[in-house]
Amino acid sequence: MKLFFLVSSLDLTQPFSATPAWWQLLKGLYEIGVDIIAAPYQGPAIESLWWRASDNPAQFYGDTFQTARNTLRRFAPQSAGAMTKPVTSEESTSDKLVRQVAQTMIAPLWERELDRVLTKEPDIDAIIILTAPLNHLVGVPAAIMQKHHKPVIYYDGDVPASLPNMAGFATGFRIYQGADVSEYAAFISNSEGGAEAIKQLGAKAVHTLFYGADPDVFSPVDVPAQDLDVMFYGHGREYRGEWIDAMIKEPSLQLSDKRFAVRGTKLGDLGHTEMLPYLSFSKLREYACRTKLNLVITRMAHASVYASSSSRPFELASMGCCMVGNPYVGIERWFEPGREIFIVNSTEEALDRYRYLLSHDDERRAAGVAARERVLKEHTFRHRARDLVQIVQNYL
């Protein structure tokens, strides 16, 4: 099978949170024998050992827009960090203007580029768009499918936060307003519970493909000692401020003899919690493996909709970490609570669980071992790659 991917970004230095997952997915596809061409919607084309890079025909416009957007945000009020609940979001005037400009200037460039690629390489079986703003590309899938008779499939990896009835993130696009979801052959969602909402928007078919982890990348690393007691890695309080306070701030104040640490930004007041410096991905892996209890604090948008997958649980499990998480509807779809992950429902439960696990080394380590075994058995990106190939085959 030969697939062309239009990816939101291939640049790991940019703040697109799903980019590492897309690298792992494409690598997994390569490892099972799929021939891959990948082009970025934002930023430069980046070659790798696992895919052949294709140019971004709209890079100039994208870079110009990103610079302007970042400049405006430096002067915009930063109230989103205090949000704990998603609210219904209407498309703003600026979002609408951006969408109209993209449809006028960027969409035609991508239509011509995809036409060129498919004409040059007619053995490409399908085009998959990975989280690029679909309302920027209105008309492109229909035109490509009509001319080349190749399925164009959209993979939304941000469900349910991306849906029109959610507020989205302060850092993100509103991607469904003004889009025509019916022009795609099918949709893929990272959320099992969010699939019905996409169908109601007019999608012809919706499939679920969860996140996962590459166990060669997210693997345990030997450390001299586990000198951190509780650690969280993540960015922003949006839709999880309540649980950051309940699982980090308050416990750090009450368990003053324990070492709490975070690696992240815009997390607010964290009590007696140490800020760890970001040095490299390898250092993040070291931090996780140095920590006795790694926290999974999932944003409400994902945690409240059944089986809405996010990367962090799979990454931590793949490293053999003992995980403690906030309530997450459908977590049992991937990990067994009480054995592979521990769920707490309040500050008091978090304190009790921390005290118990920190004083029972064997049980804590057994949970990490069990979680990694579960990833190896069911949740690697090779598993996800095989699932994706199966989905695409339905449309060939």
Q: Region 255-280: what's the mean pLDDT?
A: 93
Q: What is the pLDDT of residue 56?
A: 95
Q: What is the pLDDT of residue 82?
A: 41
Q: What is the pLDDT of residue 166?
A: 76
Q: What is the pLDDT of residue 167?
A: 58
Kindly state whether residues 50 and 190 are assigned to the same domain: yes
What's phi and psi for 273, nearest 5 deg? -120, 135
The Cα 151–Cα 153 span in angstroms is: 6
Q: What is the pLDDT of residue 173?
A: 60
* pLDDT confidence bin for 327, thresholds 50/70/90: very high
Kindly state whether residues 236 and 276 are assigned to the same domain: yes
The tally of CA atoms less than 13 A away on the side-chain side of residue 339 is 8
**pLDDT at position 134 over 50:** yes
Kindly state whether residues 206 and 261 are assigned to the same domain: no
Kindly state whether residues 196 and 318 are assigned to the same domain: no
The Cα 25–Cα 44 span in angstroms is: 19
The Cα 311–Cα 15 span in angstroms is: 15
**pLDDT at position 87 over 60:** no
Kindly state whether residues 83 and 200 are assigned to the same domain: yes
Kindly state whether residues 52 and 137 are assigned to the same domain: yes
Kindly state whether residues 235 and 95 are assigned to the same domain: no
* pLDDT confidence bin for 69, thresholds 50/70/90: low
**pLDDT at position 311 over 70:** yes
Q: What is the pLDDT of residue 81?
A: 40
Domain count, the chain: 2
CATH number at residue 30: 3.40.50.2000
Angle between helix 140-148 and helix 107-120 axes, rounded to 10 deg: 20
The Cα 215–Cα 46 span in angstroms is: 23
129 belongs to a structural domain: yes
Which one has a higher pLDDT value, 81 or 307? 307
Amino acid identity, position 242: E
Q: What is the mean pLDDT of the chain?
A: 91
- Give percent above pLDDT 90 in the chain: 79
108 belongs to a structural domain: yes
The Cα 40–Cα 261 span in angstroms is: 35
Angle between helix 311-318 and helix 361-378 axes, rounded to 10 deg: 110
* pLDDT confidence bin for 83, thresholds 50/70/90: very low
Kindly state whether residues 184 and 97 are assigned to the same domain: yes
Kindly state whether residues 292 and 342 are assigned to the same domain: yes
Domain with 146 in it:
2-212+381-393
325 belongs to a structural domain: yes
* pLDDT confidence bin for 365, thresholds 50/70/90: very high
**pLDDT at position 85 over 50:** no
Contact 135, 99 (CB under 8 A): yes
Kindly state whether residues 33 and 92 are assigned to the same domain: yes
Q: What is the pLDDT of residue 78?
A: 45
The Cα 210–Cα 310 span in angstroms is: 8
Q: Region 162-186: what's the mean pLDDT?
A: 81
**pLDDT at position 68 over 90:** no
**pLDDT at position 80 over 70:** no
Which one has a higher pLDDT value, 17 or 78? 17
29: how many CB neighbours lie within 10 A of its CB? Answer: 25
Q: What is the pLDDT of residue 269?
A: 96
Q: What is the pLDDT of residue 205?
A: 98
Contact 117, 124 (CB under 8 A): yes
Q: How far is C-alpha 235 from the chain's CA centre?
A: 13
- pLDDT tens digits for 195-223? 999 999 999 999 999 999 999 999 999 99
223 belongs to a structural domain: no
311 belongs to a structural domain: yes
**pLDDT at position 77 over 60:** no
Q: What is the pLDDT of residue 79?
A: 41
- The mean-pLDDT minimum among 2-16, 67-81, 142-156, 240-254 falls in 67-81
- pLDDT tens digits for 39-61? 999 999 999 999 999 999 988 77
Contact 240, 300 (CB under 8 A): yes
Q: What is the pLDDT of residue 15?
A: 59
Kindly state whether residues 253 and 111 are assigned to the same domain: no
Kindly state whether residues 238 and 319 are assigned to the same domain: yes
Q: What is the pLDDT of residue 97?
A: 76
* pLDDT confidence bin for 84, thresholds 50/70/90: very low
